[in-house]
Amino acid sequence: RRAAGTEGGSGGSDHVKDLAKLAELKDKGAINAEEYEQAKAKLLA
């Protein structure tokens, strides 16, 4: 359990970066709102 918790903690900043990239793609029109929401849900799951 501890290893998974540590992994999740270190991945937190990666999730922030990934979410920022997703938002940028959505803003540029590279992905639509539905694709953004699906990708965001995957990241946060």
pLDDT digits (tens, 9 = 90+) for 27-43: 999 999 999 999 999 99
Stated pTM of the model: 0.66
- In this model, does residue 23 exceed pLDDT 90? yes
**Contact (CB, 8 A) for 26 and 36:** yes
Return the half-sphere exposure (C-beta side, CA atoms, 13 A cut-off) of residue 22: 19
Confidence of residue 11 (pLDDT cuts 50, 70, 90): low
What is the pLDDT averaged over residues 19-27? Answer: 96
Average pLDDT over residues 2-11: 48
Q: How confident is the model at residue 24 (pLDDT cuts 50, 70, 90)?
A: very high
Backbone torsion region of residue 31, taken as left when φ is above 0, otherwise alpha when ψ lies between -120 and 50, otherwise beta: beta
Tell me the domain boundaries of the chain.
2-44
